[in-house]
Chain A
Amino acid sequence: MLPRGSVKALSDFLRKAAQAERADVGLERALPGDAGRAHYLISVEFLGGPLTGRHALVVRGQSDDRGSMLTGAEEFAIRRVAFGAGLTTPEPLWLEANGDALGWPFMVLRHAAGTVDAAALQSELSMEEGDRLAYRLGQELARLHRITLEKAPAEIAFLPHPDADWARRRAAEWHAALDDIGTPQPCFEWAINWFLDHAPGIEGFALCHRDLRLGNFVADGEQLVGILDLEQVRWSDPMEDLGWLCARGARHGLPDREAGGIGSREALYDGYKDVAGHEVDDRRVRFWEIAAAIRQGIAALQRAARPAGDAEQGLAAMLTGLRSLEAEYDLLLEIEHYAAEAA
């Protein structure tokens, strides 16, 4: 937990940021998050200023994993843009990018209360409730996709701009990852070739979450409370987000709930259409489901190849690496299915 001196420094920071006369900070608990990231739920009582009153806030540090992640300032800018566009996501309030207050950079967000636990949500939701939640997720993705590369906000100009060569770049990243892993992976090599041979031309790039799935949003029953984990946000084909959510590996043991193990594919598509104003391109979503299996499988192998802190973490990493076989199996069946549908 935060040491006492840090609580005082945090209070000072919050008081100034909120233009308050006083900010009394209470630490509620550490929140689950990715490795190496400080992540705390705090309760703050502001006296004076526009935020007078009690607020549940989240102090979110920067991840130790600098692999493909954004800097804290970049992530904060993306959150501001997405929140401003109407995405249901915890409001980003302040950024302390220099580490002056606590010795490490952090941002402060409003807290989204509910559950992120995949198993709890799946066991709680009936099919009808799951469909309503899937519909909401479809609406949210369409809302995010209204932010297009064509009219890219200046605040997120740092995001790499895709071009006609986007598929080759993606394949090159996967090849480099496989080379780093070191063990031969003929199935993923074969699937990457398929990806290159079938990548569609993308007419309109949009801001995509690229990691929306169970565990990365907060819900209270069927009510969507907030979309989390915007570190993977990039310009891409909007259908990638739908494919990522519908991929087999995202269904957490409920394969018949094709929209992320939550609800039906139809409900997700309907919600998307409701906001986007046009039909979902199902064929393209299926392409991205296959791409998702490549991405998930290689990510599992990367996790297994990273040094582990202790025996327990090492075992968890090994088992995660073996799960790449499920992605391989999905790829082999789904690519055949994709071809059969085209015939």
Chain B
Amino acid sequence: MANSPLLPYGPAELLERAIETLRARALPELKETPEHEAMLAAVHALAIAQAELSSDPAIMGRELAEIEGLLGRTFDGDAIAARRALADAIRARTLPSDGPTQVRLRDHLLKATANRLRLTNAKYMTRRQRRAESSY
């Protein structure tokens, strides 16, 4: 079944316009008022939602495949269960301690964190003056 939207504008585009409007009109008006911080937080939250809606939907699938590779088992598409199993395995130190596995684990964690941080605060990575990790 085709995944076509009911409305002529998608949620990401609507959010983008809303954010632009709030940044242009509401934030300058509220400067130096007690409401400014709350409005700033609200705009930031909308921007995160917009970034997530615009992100590559295949990322979670690729993360899942990588965790399955690390743990040597499948999770039937349940990414949360896979992350939980990975967290448990790390705490229990049941992953092989050989160099290549540990490098794969660290690379996976770095990519998974970067994929999320890119949505919430991409500038943070830029500020660290570090080449952005290649996405999945």
A contact set with B: CB distance below 8 Å: 175, 178, 184-187, 189-190, 192-193, 253, 255, 312, 315-316, 318-319, 322-323, 325-326, 328-329, 332-333, 336
Chain B binding surface SS class:
helix
Residues of B within 8 A of A329 (CB): 113-114, 117, 124-125, 128
Q: How far is the CB of A7 from chain B (nearest CB, A)?
A: 26
The reply to whether A322 and B120 contact each other, CB–CB distance below 8 Å, is: yes
Interface pair B42/A184, CB less than 8 Å apart: no
**Residue B106 CB within 8 A of the other chain:** yes
**Shortest distance between the CB of B83 and any CB in chain A (Å):** 4
Identify whether the interface residues of A are mostly helix, strand, loop, or mixed. Answer: helix
**21 pairs of residues in contact across A and B, judged by CB atoms under 8 Å:** A175-B91, A184-B83, A184-B84, A186-B83, A186-B86, A187-B109, A189-B87, A193-B91, A253-B127, A312-B41, A315-B41, A315-B45, A316-B41, A318-B45, A319-B44, A322-B121, A326-B121, A329-B114, A329-B125, A332-B109, A336-B106
A316 to B125, alpha carbons, bound, how many Å? 22
CB <8 Å contact, B91 and A184: no
Q: Does B48 contact A (CB under 8 A)?
A: yes
Within 8 Å CB of B23, what residues of A?
Answer: none
- What residues of chain B have their CB less than 8 Å away from a CB belonging to chain A? 38, 41-42, 44-45, 48, 80, 83-84, 86-88, 90-91, 93, 105-106, 109-110, 112-114, 116-117, 120-121, 124-125, 127-128, 130
Rounded to whole angstroms, the CA-CA distance of A326 and B130 in the bound complex is: 14
Verify B41–A319 contact, CB threshold 8 A.
Answer: yes
Interface pairs A-B: 7 shortest CB-CB: A184-B84, A184-B87, A189-B90, A184-B83, A186-B87, A325-B117, A328-B113
| B residues less than 8 Å from A253 (CB atoms) | 127
Complex Cα–Cα for A168 and B86 (A): 21
A326-B41 contact in complex given A175-B91, A184-B84, C-beta closer than 8 Å: no
* Min CB–CB distance A267 → chain B (angstroms): 22
Q: How far is the CA of A315 from the CA of B47 in the complex (A)?
A: 13
- Most chain B beta-carbon contacts within 10 A, residue among A185, A189, A316: A189
Contact A255 to B127, CB < 8 A, known contacts A175-B91, A332-B113 = yes
A193-B93, A329-B125 as given contacts; A184 in contact with B41, CB under 8 Å: no
Contacts A185-B87, A315-B38, A325-B121 known; 16 new A-B pairs at CB < 8 A: A175-B91, A186-B87, A190-B105, A190-B109, A253-B127, A319-B41, A319-B44, A322-B48, A323-B121, A325-B113, A325-B117, A326-B121, A329-B117, A332-B110, A333-B128, A336-B106
* Contact call A325/B130, Cβ cutoff below 8 A: no
Query: Which of A192, A318, A322 has the most CB atoms of chain B within a 10 A radius of its CB?
Result: A322
Complex Cα spacing A189 to B48, Å: 25
Write the nearest CB–CB distance from A100 to chain B, whole angstroms.
35
Nearest CB in chain A: distance from B88 CB, A = 8
Chain B residues within 8 Å of A332, by CB: 106, 109-110, 113
Bound-state CA distance A154–B104 (Å) is 51
Partner of A193, one of B38, B90, B121, B130: B90
A184 CA / B41 CA spacing, docked (Å):
25
Considering the chains assembled together, what is the distance between the CA atoms of A325 and B42 in angstroms? 19
The answer to whether A184 touches B86 (Cβ under 8 A) is: yes
Task: Please tell me if the beta carbons of B112 and A187 are within 8 angstroms of each other in the complex.
Answer: yes
Q: Which residues of B contact A192 (CB under 8 A)?
A: 91
Q: How far is the CB of B121 from chain A (nearest CB, A)?
A: 6
Taken together as a complex, chains A and B put the C-alpha atoms of A253 and B91 apart, in Å, by 32
B122: shortest Cβ distance to chain A, in Å? 11
